[in-house]
Amino acid sequence: MKLSKKKFKFTATPEKVLGHFKIASPEETIEKILRDKSSITRFGDGEFDFIYGVDMNYQKMDKDLSRRLKEVLLSNEENLIIGIPNVFNLEYCEKYIGRAIEFWPGWVNKYKFKILKLVSRKKQYYSAQISRFYLDYIDKSHVGEYVKKLKQIWENRDIVIIEGNQTRLGVGNDLLQNAKSIERIICPAENAYSKYNAILEEAKKVSKDKLFLLALGPTATVLAYDLYKLGYQVVDIGHVDIEYEWFLRKATKKIRIENKYVTEVADGRTNIEDVKDEKYKNEIIAKII
């Protein structure tokens, strides 16, 4: 399937309204996490939409979640970095192809004035795109090396994954093969914030020398902040496993992964095959469903 690069034009000029934000690249963001053992919480379009009062297909509107997301976005913690979309500086879109080049400029244009109320040109931000390294890019030649660098975050670490039911991060591939050990707390695939207090209480039982990897939508964005404040290192890693699956399969569009919950594909949230992987089952230390 041949994908063509698409030009984008505006009658309005979001570049003049926005622009000149200090947003590190995905590679620089990984370097920051590795160098300083930073934690990261991330805001994609869905988290910003939620702040603006628009719910998601897997998380219904919750005023408290909306409030907490805004609180986290406006926070200034010493070693908790805030990931936002690199496309807030629109020239980043020149790297993109396919649906990304169709979606992002229009989304930024739609919300440009609201974005400006939440994002400061004076603040150093980092990349929310650290887990989106393959499908959207024109140049995919760097992906193998990028994944090697990404894997260094959990290399020889005891990790605890907090993920949605059927997310199954790293199951069936080698993404987490270099981790020292893996444990999992399984949460609802949809409307996880309804169980937030129970999830947080379970997470607090974990030793502080372990690394949290979170894949739980906007709930993870808030959870990363709260766990960081409690003294943990936390990486809100989000969509990384599905992106890696697409990379391994050389996908040219978003596709269903048979035994994993894929929120962005029409048939990716139903009829998900079970896994018989005993290692995965033994990694589960708690279920909050």
pLDDT digits (tens, 9 = 90+) for 85-97: 999 999 999 999 9
Lowest mean pLDDT, pick from 37-46, 53-62, 179-188, 244-253: 53-62
Residue 4 lies in a domain: no
Percentage of residues of the chain with pLDDT beyond 90: 84
- Give residues with Cβ within 8 angstroms of 20, minimum separation 6: 89, 121
| Cα–Cα distance measured from residue 5 to residue 2, given in angstroms and rounded to the nearest whole number | 10
Residue 221 lies in a domain: yes
Tens digits of residue pLDDT in 201-233: 999 999 999 999 999 999 999 999 999 999 999
Residue 8 lies in a domain: no
Residue 5 lies in a domain: no
Tens digits of residue pLDDT in 140-154: 999 999 999 999 999
Cross-strand partners of 39: 80
Strand-by-strand arrangement of the 124-127 sheet: 22-23, 124-127, 80-84, 39-42, 233-236, 211-215, 158-164, 181-187, 284-287
- Give how many domains the chain has, as a whole number: 1
Secondary structure of residue 38 in the 3-state scheme: coil
H helices within 21-98, ranges in order? 26-36, 45-51, 63-73
**pTM to 2 decimal places:** 0.93
Q: What is the pLDDT of residue 57?
A: 82
CB atoms within 10 A of CB 113: 11
Residue 117 lies in a domain: yes
Residue 6 lies in a domain: no
Residue 178 lies in a domain: yes
State the DSSP string of 103-134.
HHHHHHHHHHHHHHHH--TTSEEEEGGGG--S
List Cα–Cα distances, 235 to 3, 208, 211, 258, in angstroms: 32, 14, 8, 26
Compute the average pLDDT of residues 53-58: 88
Q: Which domain holds residue 275?
A: 14-287
Residue 7 lies in a domain: no
pLDDT at 173 over 60: yes
Compute the average pLDDT of residues 90-115: 93
